[in-house]
Chain A
């Protein structure tokens, strides 16, 4: 990266910095070896490089959990806040500074349990940000408790004889929310698909929700084991307007040509099946974006004071 001088910025001079991947690397990631989050981090850093996002104009917001350590490992602005509450913070940032590139990283407990209401409402606000759900089907940081996405019967430390309830389906849930504008699913163990999905999601204007299936070597290694080994258990949703990584067709024989504009089919495809479906379920570029609905003209200090004086006139004795 070329170094900017104090004089370069803020004086209307051309900013010709070029960013390499390492320009986006924060502190060394401290996730377990074999944790799927590493691959997601790399894909994200690649995305920022590909898009040449200015680190100072990029913000990663997260909640609390293993996955929510994400902002620390990025060399951008970051906000590592409260368990379940990443989305309200992101909402505030976007309302105040719509020009910032905004990313949100959440775990499945974070997003689908404690933060579920924010997830629903953020989908409805449809603000321009990329929200990734790092879904390892388990509470990682707190050491192996059932999460809403844990498969039924899978044992956990709080439900040792097997998880009682059927798993919540984050894709169907999101597709059910009014104003949903971008819903996709990918897996961290297929880096090209992961990368392409993140890229398309980032370029979508609105709330892009990407569920990333993520292995946890400690608590849920067995859940994705088969799908990782056997491409037969994966079905790729492909489309010219979706994610279509050509070389992947060689490995993954099952593909389904799905137009992401088709919400009804998307909802049907989101239902559980024999194969894990990866790709873009739904995309709608026409849903209004909340920060634009709420955008108001800006006024100078003098104008504000003048208007407030008029306001006081109305209350004058």
Chain B
């Protein structure tokens, strides 16, 4: 037994097992955050994914985030090379990745340092650290270990437990690098008292494409880790689970998008590989076989969107999925789809930009590109899912809107949702979500291919195969008969008809719900007759709903709402709204904004801070949603945004809120 443990976690001898059982410290918490980090290639991500799924399946609320190095093969044992997973789970629903990890399993001290540098650990975190480096044959590595440990100890009051992972795994496998992840899974399974059968089932799922012996080896390693932990660790952590009556499923956002596309009846996904969008097409590549669908890997992103448009033009709505650089390439075609009124769904799983930027990291900086990236006036719909669950349902909505409004719908997901895993209520599938079979009945004589309703701009779609409907769709300015026309009236009318559709959609949307404000206080927005005497109604209508309203969109919802909860618990008067529709914006925004002293967007894209050097009211660059909201509502909307290459933490947002309310720095 290694006695080098810095804390009282060591166990003197095997004979004390029973005594230990009596000494076990069981820490019960409502929620906790675990990280597993290794060099890339050592499989910490698989370990984390399995552990996260098991937690969800046992009935914990959970949210997992991948820790990804930017390169595929970063140098081993470097702080920047850490790869793995963060799993935050609790008794109640978990909506974001939280602030800091309470327990970390690290495969070497350098990747652990990387996490510490990023402020990812709670100051009292428990650290389970592979200790093979301490006695490594290479002296430089030994030195690194010593230096590393010194830094680690200086950084916090961590409980460091050295774990002989290598030594243990070598009992079963020749190459321990390929086994430690399952050993680590065993450690976690024991510490958090997870259902071993479920763990095995998840291992089986994870390695379903591999042979039976691989599965068995992995289970053996997991059990070895479990045994080591039960013998050597004197604490257990209990995060009570609750079985909910609502059946749930657990998956990541890209799988949800893929499944949502199937549920929406979209049978063609045309794409070109790009992180972090690609995994959706991996999922579909496998799943589509069972549904009669096709993932077409095109020669580039331009061709991919062209294929999707061709397919949509000729029949059912198809979609393309990409990330920032690919979105840039698709813009000309998106403008064409808008002009031709061919329904189209474009999914952009955003990553850090500009240029190649941060290929694996979350950012929300494509909003402007999605809205305005096309040349000319190309009105279309832009939506953003806020949760994994919404990733699924948004595809059904997007397809329906694209078809009903004969337009393009851009769906803005991001790397956080793409790789994050969260349980959500199992969708109750409906055959009506699917597309109806093609209608090839004759097209009425004298009915133009763009039979625009003058009021709404809406028109019925005609597709090849319909006798009498023959027309040449054209990207040139055209009349309702699709005849090329350069005269002022025709172009004015075409632009108007395409634009009008957005106004019609906007009127069908609901005002956003305010989070934080008690529902009884909700301002009267939209329809419905107000209750009470005239005085009461007027009072209510003029009432202030708080000091600060946060406005978010996309994957930040959970973190923003948690920050609101914590701020309110501190007595701060803060609420939030979260927008699913960015184009058109939902109704009621200005009315809601007016009830708050201040309005501030919270986003993962760049903005100037008001007190930055050279920054003045005149030149401050706002974050992207703030820019839009200011233009649309004429309200002096402020913003707080960061581009950390990772999801926002609720604690960070809370700090920003405190600071804004204290300093009152508003522009």
Q: B-contacting residues of A (Cβ < 8 Å)?
A: 4, 6, 9-10, 26-27, 54-61, 64, 71-72, 74-82, 85, 87-97, 100, 117-118, 120-121, 294, 296-299, 301-302, 304-305, 307-309, 311-312, 314-317
* Chain B proximity of A91: nearest CB distance (Å): 5
Contact partners of B56 in chain A: CB under 8 A: 317
Known: A82-B336, A93-B313, A305-B434. 17 other contacts (CB 8 A): A59-B464, A74-B472, A78-B472, A79-B340, A81-B309, A88-B298, A89-B307, A89-B313, A91-B306, A92-B307, A95-B268, A117-B300, A305-B430, A312-B259, A316-B57, A316-B249, A317-B248
B466 at the interface (CB under 8 A from A): yes
Which residue from B307, B430, B464 sits with its C-beta under 8 Å from A56?
B464
Q: What residues on B are CB-neighbors of A10 within 8 Å?
A: 440-442
B511 within 8 A of A: no
Residue from A4, A56, A61 having most chain B Cβ neighbours under 10 A = A56
Structural contact, A92 and B309, CB atoms closer than 8 A? yes
Return the contact of A93 from the options B311, B475, B484 (Cβ within 8 A).
B311
Which residue from A4, A76, A97, A299 sits with its C-beta under 8 Å from B291?
A299
- Tell me how far the C-beta of A198 lies from the nearest C-beta in chain B, rounded to whole angstroms: 20
- In angstroms, Cα B316 to Cα A308, docked, is 19
Q: Give the total number of A-B pairs whose CB atoms are below 8 A apart.
A: 204
Q: List 15 A-B contacts (CB under 8 A).
A: A4-B442, A54-B467, A56-B469, A58-B464, A60-B472, A77-B464, A77-B469, A88-B302, A91-B310, A92-B308, A96-B310, A96-B316, A294-B296, A304-B431, A315-B251
Residues of chain B lying within 8 A (CB to CB) of residue A77:
464, 469-472
Note all chain B residues with C-beta closer than 8 A to A314. 205
Stretch of B13-21, B347-355, B421-429, B657-665 that contacts chain A: B421-429
Contact with A along B116-129 (1 / 0, CB 8 A): 00000000000000
In chain A, what residue has the closest Cβ to B467?
Answer: A56
A80 and B311 contact, CB distance less than 8 A: no
Q: Which residue of B lies closest to A302 (CB)?
A: B431
In the complex, whether B589 has a CB less than 8 A from a CB of chain A is no
Check B472 against A72 for contact (C-beta < 8 Å): yes
When distances are taken between beta carbons in the complex, the residues of chain B under 8 Å from A94 are 310
Residue in A closest to B256 when the chains form the complex, CB atoms? A315
Q: Which residue of B lies closest to A83 (CB)?
A: B332
**Which residues of the partner chain B approach A299 to less than 8 Å between Cβ atoms?**
291-292
User: How many angstroms from the CA of A233 to the CA of B441 in the assembled complex?
Assistant: 52
Smallest Cβ distance from B442 to chain A, in angstroms? 6
Contact-residue size bin, chain B (C-beta under 8 Å from the other chain): 35 or more
Shortest Cβ distance from residue B375 to the other chain A in the assembled complex, whole angstroms: 12
Which residues from chain A contact B333 at a C-beta distance below 8 Å?
82, 85
Do A85 and B314 touch (CB < 8 A)?
no
Q: Which residues of A contact B313 (CB under 8 A)?
A: 79, 89, 92-93
Chain A residues with CB under 8 Å of B233's CB are none
| Cα–Cα distance between A88 and B294 once the two chains are bound (Å) | 15
Tell me the smallest distance from the CB of B474 to a CB of chain A, in Å: 4
| B36 interface contact, C-beta 8 A | no
Please, how many angstroms separate the alpha-carbon atoms of A129 and B59 in the complex?
54
Assembly CA distance A72 to B340 (angstroms): 14
Chain A residues with CB under 8 Å of B174's CB are none
Q: How far is the CB of A286 from chain B (nearest CB, A)?
A: 23
